């Protein structure tokens, strides 16, 4: 295992300490229980957005804490759900009295622990609503999931709901927006290589030199099938077809596009993938209203990418363009 770490047991704590030291203007890092809080939280009267999940997907979620996105994030150990006490502490700390939204990727442990925390804070009179993200069209059930997995749409929901909450939208509106964005999003990913969880010290799975895993999960969970290596434009077609089908997208529609890097794939390849994707969408008569290209929801040092499409409209584009100022995503602020 070749990693720039000191001890597999302390990678999350040490990395978060670095994040906190690098961005004191944006966020504060708490340990025991562990969570990351927006520097100016709680914001009285603002709906608070709290997310979290296993570590190893950085910048998601800790890198999305800040103006126009999350109020708090709960990082679990690598590829491990955060505990209820982390979510509880983050929820209380982020609460500004206008309600809290939990943005939860659909993995069994995440869902259970966020719900347990929501039940506990309800006793304190804090209203919590959950937005469950399940945009991955690759598989119906999965190694860690009943139902579809939550992947790329998470980043879009956090950005768009973050903008709405920043603009003063009430709890019900933020929740309804998040659910709408999740339903209007679909994703699929591909891996060209595995990743290695520090505590496991060996690759999560093996892929032959001429193989890719299509429909991969962000923890290396199996996807739809193993196929032979092929040109990027064929990979793009294999990823985007199920997404187009799922959303019933066609001529005249417009989409927000997210080409996500899994970690080790160079940015140049992600732009190349975006280039093939826009050609394909052009052929379909689908317009691209906005796009995001880069490694925003990674799987440690996995090579590969995912494609997320979100059916867009004027409201979503306007929320997309709103200022965001986080360690991982920043514009207009």
Q: Does 201 bind a second copy (CB under 8 A)?
A: no
Residue 213 to residue 220: CA distance in whole angstroms: 9
For 83, how many CA atoms within 13 A lie in the half-sphere containing its CB? 8
Please identify which residue in 11, 41, 175, 177 interacts with a second copy, judged by CB under 8 A.
Answer: 11
Residue with Cβ nearer a second copy (75 or 99): 75
For 303, how many CA atoms within 13 A lie in the half-sphere containing its CB? 12
Q: How many residues bind a second copy (CB under 8 A)?
A: 59
Residue 118 to residue 84: CA distance in whole angstroms: 9
Q: Which stretch, 131-139, 141-149, 175-183, 232-240, contacts a second copy (CB under 8 A)?
A: 232-240
Please identify which residue in 110, 263, 308, 310 interacts with a second copy, judged by CB under 8 A.
Answer: 263
| Subset of 202-231 contacting a second copy (CB under 8 A) | 209, 212, 229, 231
Closest CA to 178 of 130, 118, 248: 130
Which residues are CB-neighbours of 322 under 8 A, at least 6 positions away? 68, 163, 166, 167, 332
Q: Does 293 bind a second copy (CB under 8 A)?
A: yes
Which residues are CB-neighbours of 284 under 8 A, at least 6 positions away? 244, 249, 250, 251
Q: Does 189 bind a second copy (CB under 8 A)?
A: no
Q: Does 39 bind a second copy (CB under 8 A)?
A: no
Catalytic one among 23, 57, 61, 102?
A: 57
Q: Which pair of structure tokens corresponds to residue 31?
A: 């340990």
Concerning whether 219 is annotated as a catalytic residue, the answer is yes
Concerning whether 61 is annotated as a catalytic residue, the answer is no
| Subset of 103-142 contacting a second copy (CB under 8 A) | none
Q: Which stretch, 57-65, 93-101, 152-160, 242-250, contacts a second copy (CB under 8 A)?
A: 57-65
CB of 277 vs a second copy, minimal distance in Å:
8
127 burial class (0-12, 13-18, 19+ CB within 10 angstroms)? middle
Q: Is 253 helix (H, G, I), strand (E, B) or coil?
A: coil
CB of 193 vs a second copy, minimal distance in Å:
6
CB atoms closer than 10 angstroms to residue 102: 27
SS3 percent helix, strand, coil of the chain, rounded to 5, is: 35, 25, 40
Q: Does 298 bind a second copy (CB under 8 A)?
A: yes
Q: Is 323 helix (H, G, I), strand (E, B) or coil?
A: coil
CB of 142 vs a second copy, minimal distance in Å:
23
Q: Does 152 bind a second copy (CB under 8 A)?
A: no
Residue with Cβ nearer a second copy (17 or 112): 17
Task: Tell me which residues touch a second copy (CB under 8 A).
Answer: 2-7, 11-12, 14-19, 21-22, 55-56, 58-59, 63, 192-193, 209, 212, 229, 231-233, 235, 263-276, 278, 291, 293, 295, 298, 300-301, 303-305, 325, 330-333
Residues annotated as part of the active site: 57, 219
């Amino acid at each position: 295992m070749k990693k720039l770490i000191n001890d597999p047991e302390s990678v999350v704590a040490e990395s978060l300490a670095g994040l906190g030291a690098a961005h004191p203007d944006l966020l504060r890092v708490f340990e025991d229980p562990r969570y990351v809080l927006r520097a100016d939280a709680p914001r009285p009267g603002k709906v608070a957005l709290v997310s979290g999940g296993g570590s190893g997907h950085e910048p998601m979620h800790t890198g999305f804490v800040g103006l126009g996105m999350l109020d708090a994030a709960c990082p679990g150990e690598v590829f491990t759900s955060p505990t209820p006490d982390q979510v509880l502490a983050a929820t209380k700390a982020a609460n500004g009295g206008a309600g809290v939204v939990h943005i939860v990727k659909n993995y069994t442990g995440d869902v259970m622990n966020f719900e347990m925390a929501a039940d506990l804070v309800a006793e304190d009179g804090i209203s919590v609503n959950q937005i469950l993200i399940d945009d991955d069209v690759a598989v119906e059930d999965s190694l860690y999931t009943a139902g579809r997995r939550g992947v790329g749409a998470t980043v879009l929901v956090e950005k768009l709901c973050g903008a709405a909450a920043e603009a003063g939208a009430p709890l019900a509106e933020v929740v309804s927006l998040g659910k709408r964005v999740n339903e209007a999003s679909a994703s699929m990913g591909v891996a060209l290589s595995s990743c290695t969880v520090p505590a496991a010290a060996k690759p999560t799975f093996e892929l032959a030199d001429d193989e890719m895993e299509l429909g991969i999960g962000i923890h290396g969970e199996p996807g739809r099938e193993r196929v032979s290596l092929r040109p990027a434009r064929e990979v793009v077609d294999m990823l985007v077809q199920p997404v187009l089908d799922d959303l019933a997208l066609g001529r005249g529609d417009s989409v927000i596009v997210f080409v996500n890097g899994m970690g080790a794939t160079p940015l140049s390849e992600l732009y190349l993938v975006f280039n093939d994707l826009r050609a394909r969408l052009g052929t379909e008569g689908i317009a691209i209203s906005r796009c995001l290209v880069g490694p925003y929801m990674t799987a440690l040092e996995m090579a590969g990418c995912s494609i997320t499409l979100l059916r867009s409209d004027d409201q979503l584009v306007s929320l997309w363009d709103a200022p965001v100022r986080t360690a991982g995503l920043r514009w207009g602020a």
